[in-house]
Structure 1
């Protein structure tokens, strides 16, 4: 009967390792979840069959894939947020960066804990991948050398890409995941990162230089 079960995976993990430049996430299609194999016409419905295969609370491939992607994306963002206090004195940007860092660091810690509970590899399967919402090494270098309005503009683009994409993939997990705790984390992430996205200011045309 196992052969009749359609194992689910997040499509973005297979086909999304492409561009990671700011703004890519806004134009990328929302991640969908598709079966790796289709069940025969004579097979029993996948939902009823799956209940015989996975115990309640078990981690599905979709759960693990989402947790790994969330951790990888957040690890790329934290160095960006760490630059904010040294690149601007604008209180709005500094406050938002601190809020994004606090909530997403907590989500990263929880993602790692759940991966440990699932017995998933601790290594990052997305190392070197440039996916929507992931800041590349070159982009981080550009941020490190930027000041004033240029820094605000780049920061806004990276935050928008990251927040948009994390909400999209968390929505996919919320719809197709199976582990209740993991889906709860996805719900929390959607709420907090959508709030951060709604509060994202426009780059200040006349920023104060850092002291």
Structure 2
């Protein structure tokens, strides 16, 4: 009986040790941890896309990029919608429609990523501690809403250039610090598209 009891005890210890190791391995394998941004964890990442189903690997920079870019896009879309009834320049109207058409689906994509990652669409402390460059003030928005014709066209371009420059700054940060390939690819797309739009708006301003 003593031998059987000793054997049983050793077997229980072995099982417990194995379970503990399994738990440890599982915890270390959590790709949602903030340490997932290390280069080694993304070396074998698949080709980047802007799919609403992101790769499992992500880090805090990816989360912050999505949480900040969504409201940033929301304001750009709000600005763009004003152009339909307030702008007098056909190119301004066309560009505003293009901005809305591009950024609406990007917001849907980023919201889906945050859901898949188990993250809120806004940081727990709000955006108070994380400035979003290029965002208009409430006063700016009121002035834009009150403007019409050529005054609106100029103000829209000037404010949207600053807004785009802020988005490009955030996009560059994501490309440098993010881990998720889809998020980094979207950041690159935003940088490229909005830089081209900035150049277009500067050209518009030169002729207004």
Report the equivalent of 2:80. 81
Under a length normalisation based on structure 1, what TM-score does the superposition of the two structures give?
A: 0.66
Q: Match for residue 141 of structure 1?
A: 142
- Shift in Å at residue 204 of structure 1? 5.3
Query: Structure 1 regions of 5+ residues with no counterpart?
Result: 9-45, 206-211
SS of 2:113's partner is helix
Q: Displacement, 1:202?
A: 0.7
Question: How far apart are the structure 2 equivalents of 1:135 and 1:78?
Answer: 12
Distance in 1 (alpha carbons) for counterparts of 2:85 and 2:131: 26
User: Do the aligned residues in 2 keep the contact of 1:72 with 1:126 (CA within 8 Å)?
Assistant: no
2: distance between equivalents of 1:166 and 1:151? Answer: 22
CA RMSD of aligned residues (A): 2.7
CA change 1:159–1:128 in 2 (3 A) is farther
Are the aligned partners of 1:67 and 1:115 in contact in 2 as well (CA < 8 Å)? yes
2:149 and 2:128 map into 1 onto residues whose CA distance is 31
CA displacement, residues 27-60 of structure 1 (integer Å, 9 cap, x when unaligned): xxxxxxxxxxxxxxxxxxx756x78xxxx74220
Q: Which has the higher contact order (CA 8 A, sep 6+)?
A: 1
1:11-30 equivalences in 2 (<5 Å): none
Does residue 115 (structure 1) correspond to residue 118 (structure 2)? The answer is: no
Q: Are residues 193 and 78 of structure 1, via their aligned partners in 2, closer, same or farther at CA, if it must alter by over 3 Å?
A: same
The runs of at least 4 aligned residues of structure 1 exceeding 3 Å deviation read 127-131
1:122-176 alpha-carbon deviations (Å, 9 max, x no partner):
3463279874311222211111111233212211121101111111211111111
Alpha carbons 1:57, 1:178 under 8 Å: kept: no
- 2:127 is paired with a residue of what secondary structure? coil
Q: Secondary structure at the match of 2:121?
A: coil
The structure whose residues are more often helix, as a share, is 2
- Unmatched segments (≥5 aa) in structure 2: 1-27, 29-33, 43-54
